[in-house]
Amino acid sequence: MRTLYLLRHAKSSWKDQTQADFERPLAGRGRKACIVVAQLFQVKKIELDLIISSTAVRARETIDLVRQHAKLRTELRFDERIYEASTARLVEVVSQIDYDRKSVLLVGHNPGFEDLLFELTGKNEQLPTAALVKIKLKTSKWSDPYDGKASLEWVVRPREVDD
């Protein structure tokens, strides 16, 4: 059994219209949402063996803030394939996770994350910015995420959490 968490980056800033999409930083609202997500990690007692994040600025800032506020010491890797990834590319990233890792968090973007969630579980969920998803993969290895039936355990959207 493997556990895959998906965290969509928090709300990014559109203040500078000349800035490339990849370079957009978090907005103030996004920074606040990261604190809420960090609290979720603590409340739900989420333990991770690995974090893999998109290299986009807003994804990097999201995971940096979440790690800081949740006091996560988990290994963090950045993977440029996650930015603007198709479902097939995200499945490729998942299938290459080290065998000994049982619980992994991917930090990235839509529409890829919504599509991956649907591909693995058959569940069609909207994932707004800073949404956190837990998926159980009923398989003994990451190399074939389709090996067993995956189930959506929960989706938490920061606006649904009471402060």
Domain hosting residue 126, numbered range:
2-12+24-160
Q: Is residue 148 part of a domain?
A: yes
Q: Is residue 19 part of a domain?
A: no
From CA 71, how far away is CA 148, in angstroms rounded?
32
Q: Hey, what are 4's tokens?
A: 């895959």
- 162 pLDDT tier (thresholds 50, 70, 90): low
From CA 93, how far away is CA 89, in angstroms rounded?
6
Q: How many domains does the chain have?
A: 1
Q: Is residue 55 part of a domain?
A: yes
Q: Is residue 18 part of a domain?
A: no
Single-letter residue type at 78: F
Q: Hey, what are 37's tokens?
A: 């997500």
From CA 82, how far away is CA 91, in angstroms rounded?
10
Query: pLDDT tens-digit profile of 18-66?
Result: 889 999 999 999 999 999 999 999 999 999 999 999 999 999 999 999 9
Q: Is residue 137 part of a domain?
A: yes
User: CATH no. for residue 38?
Assistant: 3.40.50.1240
Q: Is residue 17 part of a domain?
A: no
